[in-house]
Homo-oligomer: A and B are copies of this chain.
Amino acid sequence: MSLIALLDHAAVLVFALTGALVASRAQLDIIGFAFLAILTGVGGGTIRDVLLDRNPVFWMSDPTYLGVAVLAALVVFFTAHLFESRYKAILWLDAAALSFAVAAGANIAAALGQSAPIVVVMGAVTGCLGGLMRDVVANEVPLVLKQGELYVTCSVAGAAVIAFAPVAGLGPTLTVLVAAAITFGLRAGSIAFGWSLPVYKSRPPRN
């Protein structure tokens, strides 16, 4: 299995875990767990593939992705009572999934010869939209839009590494690893140290 395929499977697995954990909050049955796990696990990559007109969509040509997501649902269904005291651990796993997904997603766009802005957008789409759909469907505040989470910012930064790697002369494996590391590092800084960008604050109108 190539590095990209490995990252892609890891991203699906860990995003599926987060989907199943959201299902545990909503006290769903096992099929509800699997539904949210699949939606979260493959959602972002599916939108990427539809936009890039990759056919078939990645999990349709390789059903192990669905198997991985269902496995994550099963594991969480029987062990979520352990996880619940470990919300921090989940945030960290999610940060890992994000870094895998961004690197893999941007790399796929770059390999298709897309321009730098599209590579960046596809990294962010792959990383952010599965979790966004999970949160919208489960009626939670989307993590990508929460203040101070740097979620989209990490994705853009990581994907930009892949978009501009040809300029910097990095080899393909190193590029992917650096992209994932930068995504994870920024997200980790946000979780652990509260790193954030200035937010918009409304000021009294001048007129």
Contacts and interface: CB of A to CB of B under 8 A. Distances in A.
Interface of A: 23-24, 26-36, 38, 46, 50-53, 55-57, 60, 63, 66-67, 77, 80-82, 84-85, 114-115, 117-118, 121, 124, 128, 132, 136-139, 141-142, 144-145, 147, 150, 152-153, 156, 196-207
A203 B77 CA distance: 12
A114 B60 contact: yes
B205 A28 contact: no
Contacts of A36: 145
B138 A136 contact: no
A52 to B, nearest CB: 8
A29 B200 contact: yes
Contacts of A124: 35
A30 B84 CA distance: 32
**In the A-B complex, the 8 residue pairs with the closest CB atoms:** A29-B197, A85-B205, A81-B203, A63-B117, A31-B153, A53-B55, A31-B152, A35-B152
A31 B128 CA distance: 13
13 contacts: A31-B150, A31-B156, A32-B152, A35-B144, A50-B50, A51-B57, A52-B56, A60-B114, A66-B117, A82-B205, A82-B206, A137-B145, A138-B145
Contacts of A207: 82, 85
Contacts of A200: 23-24, 27-30, 33, 77, 80
B152 A202 contact: no
Given A118-B63, A137-B136, A81 B145 contact: no
A50 B30 CA distance: 27
A87 B153 CA distance: 28
A106 B137 CA distance: 23
A50 to B, nearest CB: 6
B81 A205 contact: yes
